Structure 1
Amino acid sequence: MNHPERRLLISVDMERYSRRGNVRQYEAQQAFQQLLHEAATAVGLDRISWKTQQAGDGELAILPADAREPQVIGRLVPDLNRRLRHYNSSRLPEARVRLRVALHQGLVHLDGANGFPGTAVIEVCRLCDARQLKKALTLFPDAGVALIVSSGIYREVVSEYPEELRPERFRRIEVHLPDKDFRESAWICVVDEDLSAVPTEMLLAEPTPGPGQPEPGTSSEDGPALPGTTAGGADPAGAINVGGIRVVGQNAVGHGAMAIGSIGEDANFGGEGRAR
């Protein structure tokens, strides 16, 4: 066993990946790798030198020993966010690629037989699973990246060398995963959005079903969009609101749509639509 090395670690996870069909998963993987490679190249980072552990919906990356943390955190993440926003602007909500990104640093073994042993690796992956981070990304439908950094990274890098990030828009949270016996403080932001204006209770609220999400009583990792982001008819999640009626389904129109609201008992939407 070789001695562990202190490295910068990145864990990336794609929002709602498992809810996509096979073709959409394939396309999302292609876009993820291409956009991350382009963002790294644009800020002077060599992706080939990264040690990675791949997953279908993201990756764990161990950066080279000479990686400059302000460059990675303050420039790579904002550039990746811009590219994702541009990519998503011409796609339906179910085809968009949005990422949760976690950054931490610590000792890691690079010669593991089945991955990268080290408590720092476990911590960065746990941070990426923070409920508040998942919720924060759902609150801003146009965002590309929700970022979480460990307390040390925030104190030593974000606060001192923010580059393109805005430290005042970060929120301190407590990440608690009881089933993993994990509790740590961390800082989160949604890149190019002002998360500081979101009430704390909204970040801690239990997720509720949105369009295309499971009905109550089934599992759901994400919550609804931030109230107030709807103007007039269509909301960012793809639903259409008309008075007290909310129509949801693919593009909120056509075969398989569903209307929810207070309407007459004899209402009929035809096809497989349902009126409630």
Structure 2
Amino acid sequence: MRHPERRLLISVDMERYSRRSNVQQYEAQRHFRELLHEAADAVGLDRVAWMTQQAGDGELAIVPRDVSESRVIGRFVPELNRRLRHHNSSRLPAARIRLRVAVHQGLVHLDGANGFPGNAVVFVCRLCDAEPVKKALAAFPDAGVALVVSTEIFRDVVTEYPEEMRPERFVRIEVAHPDKEFREDAWLCVVDEDLAAVTVPGTLASAGQEGAAQTAEKPVEAAEAEPASSRLEHGGIRTGDIRVKGQNAIGPGAAAIGSVGRDANVGTRRDDPR
């Protein structure tokens, strides 16, 4: 047994494949492979170098080490979506090809006797088969791809390249397979569609909602971490062990709080000859 390698994993599954006739399945498989190869070629990816495990209605792909994650998510997936939309535009619903695509990364054995052993492989396949992903794709009849990525991929890739990845279009979902004792969070988008316009079961929050929540918390956190001398800036002035309060620290009502632990009036009255 060779040592496992850390690789990018892509699981792809075709919507409503089992409902097709034999001839429709045959044609769908042919178009499926053609579209994947054409999309990869269009963005400079060599699909021939990908290690794949075929499943009739989809595939598991192990991407070479030198392939950029951002190129796969930010360019390959949108190009695949564009080609699928064009392909489907001239076909009846029963003949259309719409895909669920899951992306994750982790350790995988490349020399398995009957596939690719590794928990990362199981993980990415669970994401691809998640109910929220199926529901999201079904909610947009003209869409080509529903993309789901693991939390690690969303954090390390999607949010780091916002101009290419559009993280604001993702929503956080719960992927649950109770019969397989699997429950994890992931991030979902339907390429070129607005998930905020529909209700998807299993949705926990959008990227925008989480970002707003984090922003709202920052002032509190910043205030707690701020030095005491800086926090007094809005309530007075500190000089050494003395803090002077009041309007500009001058005038009626000004007070000095010293290290002796008591307050002393340090203001001057207007009728005071001093």
Normalising TM by the smaller chain, what interval? 0.7 to 0.9
8 Å CA contact 1:74, 1:162 repeated in 2: no
Structure 2 distance, partners of 1:28, 1:146, is: 18
1:118–1:187 CA distance, 2 compared to 1 (3 A)? same
Greater fraction helix: 2
Deviations 1:159-182 (A, max 9, x none): 112454311010001111001110
The match for 1:60 is 60
Query: For 1:71-129, what per-residue CA distance to the aligned partner results, in whole angstroms no more than 9, with x for missing partners?
Result: 00110000000000000000000100000000000000000011000000000000001
Q: Within the alignment, does 1:134 sit opposite 2:148 as a pair?
A: no
Equivalents in 2 of 1:27, 1:164: separation in Å? 33
Task: State the match for 1:146 in structure 2.
Answer: 146
Greater Rg, structure 1 or structure 2?
Answer: 2
Query: What is the alpha-carbon distance in structure 1 between the residues aligned to residue 66 and residue 123 of structure 2?
Result: 22
C-alpha RMSD of matched pairs (Å): 1.2
Three-state SS of the structure 1 residue aligned to 2:40 is helix
Residue 83 of structure 1 corresponds to: 83
Structure 2 equivalent of residue 39 of structure 1:
39
User: TM-score if structure 2 supplies the norm length?
Assistant: 0.72
SS of alignment partner, residue 45 of structure 1? coil
Contact kept, 8 Å, 2:8 with 2:103, in 1: the verdict is yes
Q: Quick check: 2:159–2:165 contact (8 Å CA) kept in 1?
A: no
Residue 12, structure 1, aligned to residue 12, structure 2 = yes
Give me the whole-angstrom Cα distance separating, in 1, the residues matched to 2:162 and 2:9.
18
Between stretches 98-107 and 189-198, larger displacement belongs to: 189-198
Q: Measure the CA separation in 2 of the matches of 1:11 and 1:187.
A: 15
**Amino acid of the residue matched to residue 173 of structure 1?**
I
Alignment map for 1:229-248 (pairs within 5 Å): none
Q: Answer whether contact 2:174 2:202 (CA < 8 A) is retained.
A: no
Instruction: Describe the superposition over 1:126-165 as per-residue Cα deviations: whole angstroms up to 9, x where unpaired.
Output: 0001100000000000000000000000011011124543
Q: Secondary structure at the match of 1:71?
A: helix
**Hey, what's the Cα distance between the residues in 2 that align with 1:6 and 1:19?**
36
Are the counterparts in 2 of residues 78 and 164 from structure 1 also a CA contact under 8 Å?
no
Matched with 1:186 is 186
Distance 1:73 1:10, change over 3 A: same
1: CA distance, partners of 2:60 / 2:160: 25
On the 8 A contact 1:172/1:187 being kept in 2, the answer is: yes
Alpha carbons 1:146, 1:191 under 8 Å: kept: yes
Gaps of 5+ in 2: 204-274
d(CA) in 2 for partners of 1:70, 1:143: 21
Shift of residue 197, structure 1, vs aligned partner: 3.0
Instruction: Give SS of 1:203's match.
Output: coil
TM-score (norm 1): 0.72
Could you say what secondary structure the match of 2:165 adopts? coil
Per the alignment, residue 155 of structure 2 pairs with 155
* One-letter code aligned to 1:132: P
Letter matched to residue 35 of structure 2: L
The residue aligned with 2:114 is: 114
Code of the aligned partner of 1:148: V
Going from structure 1 to structure 2, the CA distance change for 1:163 and 1:51 (only over 3 Å counts) comes to: farther
User: For structure 1, which runs of at least 5 residues remain unmatched after alignment?
Assistant: 206-276
SS across alignment from 1:32:
helix
Amino acid at match of 2:37: H
Q: Distance in 1 between matches of 2:93 and 2:32?
A: 16
Task: Give the secondary-structure state (helix, strand or coil) at the position aligned to 1:82.
Answer: helix
Contact 1:151/1:185 (8 A) holds in 2: yes
Cα shift readout 1:191-235 (whole Å, capped 9, x = no counterpart)? 000113323xx4249xxxxxxxxxxxxxxxxxxxxxxxxxxxxxx
Decide whether aligned partners of structure 1 residues 110 and 162 sit closer, same or farther in structure 2, where only a CA change above 3 A counts: farther
The yes-or-no answer on 1:203 pairing with 2:201 is yes
- Aligned-partner Cα distance in 2 for 1:163–1:37: 25
Q: Distance in 1 between matches of 2:20 and 2:87?
A: 17
